Amino acid sequence: MKVSVVGTGYVGLVTGACLAEAGNDVVCMDVDADKIAALERGEVPIYEPGLEPLVAENVAAGRLRFTTDMDACVDHGLFQFIAVGTPPDEDGSADLRYVLDVARGIGARMDDYRVIIDKSTVPVGTADKVRSAVGEELAARGQDIEYDVVSNPEFLKEGAAVEDFMKPDRIILGCDNVRTGALLRELYAPFNRNHERVITMDVRSAEMTKYAANAMLATKISFMNEVANLCERVGADVEMVRQGIGSDPRIGFSFIYPGAGFGGSCFPKDVAALERTAREHGYTARMLQAVEAVNDEQKTVLERKIVARYGEDLTGKTFALWGLAFKPNTDDMREAPARRLMEGLWARGATVRAHDPEAMDECRRIYGERADLTLVDDRYAALEGADALVLVTEWKPFRSPDFDHIAATLRDPVIFDGRNIYDPAVLAPHGLTHVAIGRPQTTPGEG
């Protein structure tokens, strides 16, 4: 089937490559000529496991092409995926200008029936706006061409996006008619073989489903961070509590790991956008407001623990940071807790030596060269000259380090464990103090 994807960011590129892998003829379009040129050279602009070889294989097979030509993009595909960004506006709402620009571009060029698919995360009611934008362009041309607008939200986890697309938990189709649903079922048939994964619903329910899913997951995280903060005050161990409540199948173990707050391109933006949607409809979403507030405060938890140990003025102190990305297996630093931590440490006069397996180029792009930041290519090199180690992102290479080496290298043998990945009983015999989230502090001799 012929597919056009507008936008070669995280969602658009994964969507295009995976649909091409299923045998479809896919054209991905972007207005960024440099990005398109890089993709044509085989350079994938984001780090996502499995994506680069998938793109290369399908380009070589002729199933995947890239262009900056909107005319060619609209002319090519029966299916027109809109996969452009919806960044948060100043008031927290999703900025739909890019989505509607694409819709107008399709309406200005289409000469035959098209299925226009909102793949971008968009607020409830966006499909109506897309439909109007396309219709206005057709009317301006004096054309009466049939088209349908569908909501097909993505549920891709950064770090596992290719696998999520190839083996989805569910495929949500928000359609207004049976014909469009049948066409999309045919498109998604290769990903729907073992058991029925397609859930068809009305367009507005599909749009709400995406936001509700991310808001629920974000709520679980913020709730667990609240529990962790309370555990510290009452002398409980949140890791024991987590195991106790996670064993209840009604709760489960997913997304109940306390830490330094959630980040990334989805949860913060989507919770804010859903809360804004509620306000626009005269409803105060108190739980969503609380989720945002708890997460914002949680991003300062590591800084507060550092200050509690070393004082308000950190001039002359150096901290080794392991992890910059907001989560493992990505180079994405959007809303990353590491950013809030580093900025807080710098404001107090400290310097940072940081290592991340994938996100250091992104860190350089964001912060440039500065005297109080040193990025190193080796995790142990980050420890040199550092007073303490702060674990911010739970990459696998950080899980089983040489604790004797860490203790011998740090000026003050302490690990601030922002993801609770270390067992304090293991650290103490190595002479390391363990400061975690929602757990009693363990110092040498207490193991």
Q: Which amino acid is at 349?
A: G
Q: Contact at 8 Å (CB) between 416 and 305? A: yes
3-state secondary structure the chain: CEEEEECCCHHHHHHHHHHHHCCCEEEEECCCHHHHHHHHCCCCCCCCCCHHHHHHHHHHCCCEEEECCHHHHHHHCCEEEECCCCCECCCCCECCHHHHHHHHHHHHHCCCCEEEEECCCCCCCHHHHHHHHHHHHHHHHCCCCCEEEEECCCCCCCCCHHHHHHCCCCEEEECCCHHHHHHHHHHHHHHCCCCCCEEEECHHHHHHHHHHHHHHHHHHHHHHHHHHHHHHHHCCCHHHHHHHHHCCCCCCCCCCCCCCCCCCCCHHHHHHHHHHHHHHCCCCCHHHHHHHHHHHHHCCHHHHHHHHHHCCCCCCCEEEEECCCCCCCCCCCCCCHHHHHHHHHHHCCCEEEEECCCCHHHHHHHHCCCCCEEECCCCCHHHCCCCEEEECCCCHHHCCCCHHHHHHHCCCCEEEECCCCCCHHHHHHHCCEEECCCCCCECCCCC
Q: Which amino acid is at 25?
A: D
Q: Which of 18, 231, 266, 363 is catalytic?
A: 266
Check if 28 is active-site: no
Residue positions annotated with a catalytic role: 266
